[in-house]
Amino acid sequence: MTGDLARRLVTDELWALTEPLLPPFTPRRQGGGTAPVDERMVLTAVVWVLTSGCPWRMLPPWLEVSPATAHRRFTAWTEAGVWRRLYRVAVRDGLAGPGESGWAAVIVKAAGLRAGQGPATARRRAPRETTTKAQNHAATAQSGQH
């Protein structure tokens, strides 16, 4: 079951489009840690978080990827422009098959939202002007109201 779900989240075709876009794994400067995790499983874990809306810390154990690893790779991939390039390859250039381009678009949009680059941040309102209690008191005193 878990293998089936993982293959539905990241199909062979989606993986074939995404794999060449991923930057090579580089070990952390501070050292330590374990051997690199299978990149496809990391992508599956990232797609799970992006499309389910679950927090990174609630990543299901069946994905066999730690929440820290998934989040670290998501951040690295976002900084490397993987999501933008995946959109261009899969959706705009039409290299994905039927249904795959739509799924890739969902993933890319969710990645942009999670990274704070999507429409949600563009629609943020300007901060409301608020007054302090002292400013309210001074305004009340000036108008002669107590």
Summarised one tens digit per residue, pLDDT across range 101-138 is 788 888 888 888 888 755 443 334 444 444 455 555 56
Dihedral class, residue 61 (left if φ above 0, else alpha if ψ from -120 to 50, else beta) = alpha
Range of the domain at 108: 1-21+40-53+66-116
Q: What is the pTM of this model?
A: 0.70
If you count DSSP H runs as helices and E runs as strands, how many of each does the chain have, helices first?
Answer: 8, 0
| 98-103 average pLDDT score | 76
The number of C-alpha atoms within 13 Å of 125 and in the hemisphere containing its C-beta is 3
Within a domain: residue 141? no
Q: What would the pLDDT profile of 38-87 be if each residue is shown by its tens digit?
A: 999 999 999 999 989 899 999 999 999 999 999 999 999 999 999 989 98
Distance from C-alpha of 91 to C-alpha of 112, rounded to nearest angstrom? 15
How many domains, the chain? 1
Within a domain: residue 109? yes
